[in-house]
Chains A and B, each alone.
Chain A
């Protein structure tokens, strides 16, 4: 891959370090393009794997997908040109829009609770109040390394209406059995619980890193002036942590709309499609209904909506800043 003779042939072109102006760089006019390229051969060679793979496995498929979305195709045989018909059909595809709505509902159900809890727990861990801080952080983070297939089935057992641990625990304190996986809304709550379990630690770690960049003197000064802990949390911690919260929320938007394994294993999208997600819909349109063209169109609309939602969310959160 790397030809070492190359370095012996001509002298290694002045390798230009970042942060320093390149004297040869300013040669204007008649520097032949190839010789200029040769001068930068090492960095260009070093970054080339990414751009080659990007072109082959991302840029090309995205273009190819446009072509696919304008056809009716069952994966094999003749492709039939149908223009924008797939997109027209998608506009009235209630099943697809239902999955988008499910994702939005799920987002509202678990992301605010999870993000808020992450900030609170990170603040507690950051105060230095507790011994064994590293241990608690590790325990809270541990679910994140679990396969969602394994976690999904475990949750399915724990949330079983008749034999699960959740209803057994509720029974002790005199609460009736909850139909965790058998009711539309409870199923969404259960899925949210699985997501919180898997991602709370990750969010906490991010928030903790953010908190560690806030100088402790700020909170101390406020405390000396008589501010209570909740006041410090509301008026110092939250505002200063805002960029990290925005980052975490953006990841959560993308993550929620990309959910696939969790609902597939925990609820199989049910009951009555209440937890079916867009990616499940794209997957089954491709591999079960073998409508490749339609699935390609669906992925485009799905992507457009994610971009839109991310931008709106970003706008809302950052505008709140100046208010």
Chain B
């Protein structure tokens, strides 16, 4: 081949760099996957074998941990609680955030800037700051302790979601909205029939982010859910810890695998939307 010395050197460098890049990325991916693998193999081991630490694969794989999880810890009930809370919270939040995002993207009204700024500022407030007063309100005013509502209502229209949806709504063509108005559609009808269908990728991305946050949430549920019957999946896992020295790690690992399954399914099916959702705020914002 007729290559200049520089180009030849470059080419040699390129293949060395490529080998290095593969080593780093494949090695890192393996490291990131290892805890999942450890979780999975441990979930098929009896308690003693987990702590014997002398075999990676289970010597005699058993489903006992899973059976115990569903029989004694009522995992199905907890999964149902988690699903109900996460689905309701996600549906309500996505709807309200889309509505708010649409108003900020496509309407001009007095006080818009100030209201938008106030909303963005509220995003920086750490949840721990309102933990104590919010708990007192839930207990003394709303009587919502041990119900799903504290996990659904307070966060139903959140600043991040509205900001996020606004980014998507801006690109809906004004002509489309005007045409519908000329046809006599109501504003709410336009939102439902035109705006929502054209921003489905955004709705899905935001929905996954909300669902994931709700499904994995621990701090606030552990404050407001009291009786084991009302526990969500992460609280069930935590309860398996028991008194010091009596942690049921074997059942815990089975529970961890189970807690991962719904998120994994969602991730595998809708990964593209989630990644797009996460990056939407960072580059434009």
Q: Which of A90-98, A104-112, A180-188, A297-305 contacts B (4 or more CB under 8 A)?
A: A297-305
Task: Select one of A146, A157, A282, A286 contacting B50, CB under 8 A.
Answer: A157
Minimum CB–CB distance from A146 to chain B (whole Å) comes to: 6
Provide the A134-156 mask, 1 if CB < 8 A to any CB of B, else 0: 00111111110111111101110
Most buried by A among B26, B108, B178: B108
A29 interface residue, CB < 8 Å from B? no
Cβ–Cβ contact B131 & A121, under 8 A: no
Of chain B, the residue at the smallest CB distance from A42 is: B187
* Chain B residues within 8 Å of A, Cβ to Cβ: 13, 17-18, 21-22, 24-26, 28-29, 32-36, 38-39, 42, 50-53, 56, 96, 99-100, 102-110, 112, 115, 119, 122, 124-137, 153-159, 162, 174, 177-178, 181, 186-188, 191, 212, 215-216, 218-219, 223, 233-234, 237-238, 241, 249, 252-253, 255-256, 259-260, 263-264, 266-267, 271, 275, 278-279, 282-283, 285
State whether B219 touches A283 (Cβ < 8 A). Answer: yes
Question: What is the bound-complex CA distance between A280 and B187, given in angstroms?
Answer: 47
Chain A residues within an 8 Å CB radius of B35? 143, 151, 154-155, 158, 197
Q: Within the assembled complex, what's the spacing in Å between the Cα atoms of A202 and B282?
A: 11
Distance (whole angstroms) from the CB of B175 to the closest CB of chain A: 10
Inter-chain contact A206/B278, CB cutoff 8 Å: yes
In the bound assembly, the distance between CA atoms of A162 and B249 in angstroms comes to 15
Contact A61 B133 (CB under 8 A): yes
Closest to B31 in A: A197
B29 close to A292 (CB less than 8 A): no
Given A18-B106, A142-B33, A257-B126: A157 and B38 within 8 A (CB)? yes
Known: A61-B133, A254-B126. A150 touches B255 (CB 8 A): yes
Q: Is A269 an interface residue (CB 8 A)?
A: no
Residues of A whose CB lies within 8 Å of any CB of B are 2, 4, 7, 12, 15-20, 22, 25, 36, 40, 42-44, 46-47, 49-51, 53-54, 56-58, 60-62, 64-65, 68, 75, 120-121, 124-125, 127, 129-130, 136-143, 145-151, 153-155, 157-158, 160, 162-165, 168, 197, 200-202, 205-206, 208-210, 213, 229, 244, 247-248, 254, 257-258, 260-261, 265, 278-279, 282-283, 286-287, 292, 295-296, 299-300, 302-303, 306-307, 310
Nearest Cβ distance between residue B171 and chain A, in whole angstroms?
A: 12
Contact across chains for A261 and B17 when beta carbons are under 8 A apart: no
Decide if the interface of chain A is mainly helix, strand, loop or mixed. Answer: helix
Q: Are A157 and B249 in contact (CB under 8 A)?
A: yes
Nearest residue (CB) in A for B280 is A209
With A17-B177, A124-B21, A282-B128 as given contacts, are A164 and B53 in contact (CB-CB < 8 Å)? yes
A278 x B128 contact (CB < 8 A): yes
What 5 new A-B contacts, CB under 8 Å, besides A68-B132, A154-B35, A261-B218?
A65-B129, A121-B25, A140-B29, A160-B51, A229-B17
Instruction: For residue A103, give the distance in angstroms from its CB to the closest CB of chain B.
Output: 12
A138 contacts across to B, CB distance below 8 A: 267, 271
Distance between Cα atoms of A164 and B38 in the complex (Å): 10
